[in-house]
Amino acid sequence: MTRFAAPIAEQIWDMKYRLKQADGTPMDLSVEDTWRRIARALAEVEAEPAAWEDRFYAALEDFKFLPAGRITAGAGTGRNVTLFNCFVMGTIPDSMVGIFDHLKEAALTMQQGGGIGYDFSTIRPKGADVKGVAADASGPLSFMDVWDAMCRTIMSAGSRRGAMMATMRCDHPDIEDFITAKSDAARLRMFNMSVLVTDAFMDAVKADRPWELKFDGKVYHTVQARDLWNKIMRATYDYAEPGVIFIDRINAMNNLAYCEEIAATNPCGEQPLPPYGACLLGSINLARLVNAPFESGAGIDEDELADLVASAVRMMDNTVDASRFPLPAQRQEAQAKRRIGLGVTGLADALLMIGLRYGSDEAARQTERWLHAIARAAYRASVQLAKEKGAFPLFDADKYLASGAMQQMDDDVRAEIAEHGIRNALLTSIAPTGTISLYAGNVSSGIEPVFAYAYTRKVLQKDGSRTEEEVVDYAVNMWRDKFGDRELPDYFVNAQTLAPQDHVKMQAAAQKWVDSSISKTINVPENIDFEAFKDVYLQAYETGCKGCTTYRPNEVTGSVLSVSETSEATPEADKGAEVVYMTEPLDRPVALEGSTYKLKWPDSEHAIYLTVNDITIGGHRRPFEVFINSKNMEHFAWTVALTRMISAVFRRGGDVSFVVEELKAVFDPRGGAWMQGKYIPSILAAIGGVIERHMISIGFIEGEGMGLKSDPQAQVVNLDGAPRGPACPSCGQYEMRMVEGCMTCMSCGHSKCS
């Protein structure tokens, strides 16, 4: 019998985690082989590997402990990949040489599969003097464009593109440009972005006081703190970014505040890290640990939980020694502090199994109890490791125990640490688990509520056909096995029906016993009032959260709608609409209106001339064809190909502004160019910019980066009523959902962040 609880679980394993040869031949013949491979690799650093291999296998068996994807896919493979998920890079120097040295480090890290975070607050603001060259600085946003272009070309761990987090302090002079940067949908697409909000700023917001924007001691601007806060809130209300990180709280509660300062996080925010900080992740699957589910005595045996946690902590500590690192500084940092990030998944399912409604006061109390038990077990296990193998090298008992987080730890655990030391400086974190939760049988992800109790996905078969299969939540499957078709109780709530305040309540309950941070998305309804939306962030701040990420579906971020994958719309049916889809390409009229643009690429002998011709449908002018010409014969083949492809797309109709976004995203590894004060990553990106300006001039889009984000097809109701999200860029299915701060495909597990 298969160990997998659902067909999708086996498919995810085969696609993401199963070890295969280069030609696709499986080396892991079963999931038991995968567990054995991981257990053996992590036991190799032990004095008695054989004994620990069996114990590690028992922890992995039946998906009870879920190492993060990097470990599951990479451990024991012999491949040159890191087993660490999270990196924050070094502090960026405010110099051209230093900036590009750090760009190289970022590329090397992502090449091995690590997601990275950067604080761009250390780069001088736009317009500041650059001494010695009689020039003005271009500012941190222009260098973020360079990072973004580089990231697009780096395949992370061989199959995923790199993910990045950019942070900026709330008092940096360029913070307002940072806040609004993602309003341009073609810009900084490889970044998640968060503002580092200080306690002083929050006090100024509440008191409506002035707020100074300064760099290197010089005040550049003074704004009203509340106005700046409203600008942050408006951007995340409209575009789901930037997020908010309460940086003073993170530093105050850090066990290592005595030897490090944090200014950035990994891409999903659950790991605040110092310069060159690294952390690995893993999750206890609470849904697999509930005894007597849906019965009066349902619960989790805390002794069994503690034993599983102890095995998990030892496995993760061994990973520090077993892993490769992209940079020597990352290895040194990891081994000096031995940070690990043990978290949970399946929380919402576990709560359902014991009869609790996610978001209720009792569910929050139970969450706190479980997370307290895990933290206590993790710290005690790490003390035992310290007795056996030694404390982490930078351990200082007095300073460590005086830190903010350790002051609330149980007295007996504090006493053990004081006597024996501790192996791992920090131990707990709640990471995104979208893909591994599918692999574990579609358990609820992380500490998130269940998104949908059942949905239908289309599965591509070898002959090219598609079949449909129902994907059912793990707890619902257990309910069906036990009670058949009996109606689900009313405590089965989901992410769409949950009040935002209940989301925050659950995050705050978990945060109390998590020494790092939490990746969580607070879903809010599209029609939420802006003032009520801002209250969500204030509630998160006041209740002890270390950050806040929300998702409000709208035309820009993408609604989760019931949609049809095809449309019968025609120009006649859509007369008067701003965008139309043509079922057949239109014939070219004899004459068209258009404009020709000259593009001179630096270091190129000949200019490129672009002609964009337009057609008018229903009173609206739209691009119809493109001609690209150059005397440079090296350009001939690709300019002809581009002319034909873009024109073919334009003639099909619909929202063709994506052509601009795709062209602007192309990165030339030989180097881009600075044009009109902005870094352009390639000549194709420059062509995209010209087409975008033309679209603006004819009124097809409103402004730079303000393309049409809504698709007329999304208004066609699907007859089966199943919820659908945007199309997945990996598998094409309409199952993209915002999960734990990142758009994730429920069909294939694709995620920008993992």
Determine, yes or no, domain membership for 549: no
Strand partners, 744: 737, 751
Q: Is residue 647 part of a domain?
A: yes
Q: How many domains does the chain have?
A: 2
Q: Which of 252, 279, 305 is at the close of a domain? A: 252
704 is known as an active-site residue:
no
Gap between the Cα atoms of 312 and 375, Å rounded? 12
Task: Please indicate, yes or no, if residue 123 is contained in any of the structural domains.
Answer: yes
Confidence of residue 569 (pLDDT cuts 50, 70, 90): very low
Range picked from 576-585, 643-652, 718-727 for highest mean pLDDT: 643-652
Domain termination site, one of 233, 252, 271? 252
Angstrom distance (rounded) from CA 494 to CA 348: 9
End-to-end CA distance of the chain: 30
657 part of a folded domain: yes
Position 135 in a domain: yes
Measured CA to CA, the distance from residue 236 to residue 192 in angstroms comes to: 12
Write the pLDDT tens digit of every residue in 127-163.
998 876 667 889 999 999 999 888 877 643 344 456 8
Full domain range(s) for residue 196: 87-252
Q: Where are the alpha helices (DSSP H) in 181-224?
A: 199-207
Active-site residue flag, 192: no
Spot the catalytic one: 266, 285, 318, 424. 266
Residue range 12-57, pLDDT digits in tens: 999 899 999 988 899 999 999 999 999 999 999 999 999 999 999 9
CB 20 within 8 A of CB 159: no
Last residue of a domain, one of 219, 252, 285: 252
Assess if residue 682 is contained within a domain.
yes
Tens of pLDDT, residue by residue over 499-556, are 999 999 999 999 999 999 999 999 899 899 999 999 999 999 999 999 999 999 876 6
Is there a catalytic annotation at residue 268?
yes
Establish if 703 belongs to a structural domain.
yes
Q: Which of 151, 170, 268, 753 is catalytic?
A: 268
Q: Per the structure block, which two tokens stand in for 81? A: 């990949």
- In this predicted structure, the answer to whether residue 721 has a pLDDT above a threshold of 70 is no
Out of 270, 448, 692, 740, the active site residue is 270
Asked if residue 557 belongs to a domain, the reply is no
DSSP helix, strand, coil percent of the chain (3-state; round to 5): 40, 20, 40
pLDDT grade for 574, boundaries at 50, 70 and 90: very low
CB neighbours (10 Å) of residue 365? Answer: 12
- Token pair, residue 749, equals 């597990």
> DSSP string covering 677-709, please?
TEEE--HHHHHHHHHHHHHHHTTSSSSTT----
Nearest by Cα to 682 from 146, 166, 188: 146
What distance in Å separates the CA atoms of residue 54 and residue 692, rounded to the nearest whole number? Answer: 59
Distances (CA, A) of 693 to 7, 572, 675, 704: 48, 28, 15, 7
pLDDT at residue 711 greater than cutoff 70: no
The set of residues, in sequence order, having a beta carbon less than 8 Å from that of 338 and lying 6+ positions away, is 317, 320, 392, 423, 424, 425
One-letter amino acid identity for 180?
A: T
Percent of the chain with pLDDT over 90: 61
Half-sphere exposure of 260 (CA within 13 A, CB side): 27
Q: Which of 45, 35, 30, 43 is nearest to 66 (CA)?
A: 35
